[in-house]
Amino acid sequence: MRTAVWYNNRDIRIEEVAKPVPGTGEMLVRIDACGICGSDIVEWYRLPRAPLVPGHEIGGEVVTIDPGVEKFQPGDRVFIAPKIPCMQCDYCKKGHYPVCPNVKERLPGGFAEYILVPAALVKGGTYRLPGSISAAQSTFIEPLACVVRAQNLASVSGPQTVLIFGCGMSGLLHIKLAKSKGCRVAAVDIQPERLEYAARCGADLILDATEDVPARLSAENGGLADVVIHCTSAMAAVEQAWQCVDKGGRIVFFAVPDPDKTVTIPINGFWMQEISVLTSYYCGPPDIVTAMGILDSGRLQVDDLITHRLPLAEVASGFELVLDGRKSVKVIIEPNK
């Protein structure tokens, strides 16, 4: 079978490997669609494990199962989480699923024609897709689950004002989810193309990052933001965000600057204004269930975010599109088309 092996963002090779055979408790899934995530292009995060087969936003169909697997059958359409928490440790019991120290099995990358699902993920990380969720839509389950968790941590609800820095795919999902909760949403980006998408997704206030964002927000919104969500690694956005959050508000780092950058929190001012700084980078099983329910209900539409659907042979071009960011939002690889 063919796989896309990532050595770095400019060196992605299509390589032939043997099709896996399921062992005890395992199953083989044909990949119908796998999205390119913004984290897939973050080299400082990925390079220590290179070369690797990336791809963790997966929708597929069960092909072969180990005889001991009773939960699924060949032909089942499934979404597979990239990793699962143990649900037994103190962190999991407190709801901190992303920091579970007992994660041992991780999903092999989805930019391949087939994927062998480890037994632990068959048991606790694979979800049968309802008929209402297409293969392309299934690639939004994991990113939407991450957005669900971040907004829950920040207690996002209407009629709050939510300010989103960065209008890539994650930022747009944050806009859509916040709007579905009855929030007033302001969106900031430096690229006009992304701001156009933010407007289409329902943002009430569109702000060019080169402007005085805090001043425009205050003037046109009638006040600062209750919640600021960072979906960009740009340091300039960090500096602006400190000035955009209202008293008693929350700032969520959904994306972070590179590790060599120093972020200084104006803690004295925040201390007197009861401002909270939060981080959120992944999701847990309850968030996945919630995200699937949102997509199944049709309460949040995602098809309008899909800009490219490419075969496996063009995965390198897909990465270039995501790296550039001006002509794409959601890039999906369809390895078997």
pLDDT tens string 74-99: 999 999 999 999 999 999 999 999 99
Instruction: Please tell me the predicted confidence (pLDDT) of residue 253.
Output: 98
The per-residue pLDDT for range 60-69, each reduced to its tens digit, is: 999 999 999 9
User: What domains are there in the chain, each with its CATH number?
Assistant: 2-144+283-334 (3.90.180.10), 155-279 (3.40.50.720)
In this prediction, residue 144 carries a pLDDT of 98
| Residue, of 254 and 106, whose pLDDT is higher | 254
* Residue-wise pLDDT tens digits, 312-326: 999 999 999 999 988
Task: Give the pLDDT band (50/70/90) at residue 72.
Answer: very high
Query: 183-214, pLDDT tens digit by residue?
Result: 999 999 999 999 999 999 999 999 999 999 99
Q: Percentage of residues in the chain with pLDDT exceeding 90? A: 95
| Strand blocks (E) in the chain | 2-8, 11-16, 27-35, 57-65, 77-80, 114-117, 126-128, 161-165, 184-189, 205-208, 225-230, 245-253, 276-279, 306-311, 330-334
Q: Which of the four pLDDT bands, split at 50, 70 and 90, describes residue 104?
A: confident
- Checking if the pLDDT of 108 tops 90, the result is no
The DSSP annotation for 14-41 comes to EEE-PPP---TT-EEEEEEEEE--GGGG
Q: Does residue 105 surpass a pLDDT of 80?
A: no
* Rounded average pLDDT over 145-170: 97
Distance CA 316, CA 324 (A): 12
Residue 107 pLDDT > 90, yes or no?
A: no
Beta strands in 203-270 (DSSP E): 205-208, 225-230, 245-253
Strands 2-8 and 11-16 turn out to be: antiparallel
Residues near 268 by Cβ (< 8 Å), separated by ≥ 6?
none
What single-letter amino acid sits at 267? I
Contact indicator for 303, 173 with CB cutoff of 8 Å: no
Strand partners of residue 1? none
Contacts 24+ apart (CB under 8 A), 38-42: 38/168, 38/169, 38/170, 38/255, 38/322, 40/6, 40/319, 40/322, 41/9, 41/319, 41/322, 41/323
| Inter-residue long-range contacts of 205-213, CB under 8 Å, 24+ positions, other chains counted | 209/165, 209/234, 209/236, 209/237, 209/240, 213/188, 213/240, 213/243, 213/244
Q: What is the pLDDT of residue 103?
A: 87
Measured distance CA(29)–CA(55) in Å, rounded: 14
What does the pLDDT look like over 294-313, one tens digit per residue? 999 999 999 999 999 999 99
Residue 52: phi and psi, rounded to 5, are -150, 160
Tell me the C-alpha distance between 162 and 231, whole Å.
13
Write the pLDDT tens digit of every residue in 6-59.
Answer: 999 999 999 999 999 999 999 999 999 999 998 899 899 899 989 999 999 999
Task: Round to the nearest angstrom and report the end-to-end CA distance of the chain.
Answer: 13
pLDDT, position 326: 86
H-type alpha helices, 12-165: 43-46, 90-93, 119-124, 135-138, 141-153
For the chain, how big is the Rg over CA atoms in Å? 20
Question: Does pLDDT of 263 surpass 90?
Answer: yes
What is the structure's pLDDT at 59?
96
Mean pLDDT, residues 117-131 taken together: 95
Q: Average per-residue pLDDT in the chain?
A: 96
- pLDDT, residue 178, reads 98
* pLDDT for the residue numbered 163: 98
| Per-residue tokens: 133 | 């969720």
pLDDT tens digits for 213-240? Answer: 999 999 999 999 999 999 999 999 999 9
264-272 mean pLDDT: 95
pTM above 0.75, yes or no: yes
State how far Cα 60 lies from the chain centre. 18
- Provide, rounded to the nearest whole percent, the portion of the chain with pLDDT above 70: 100
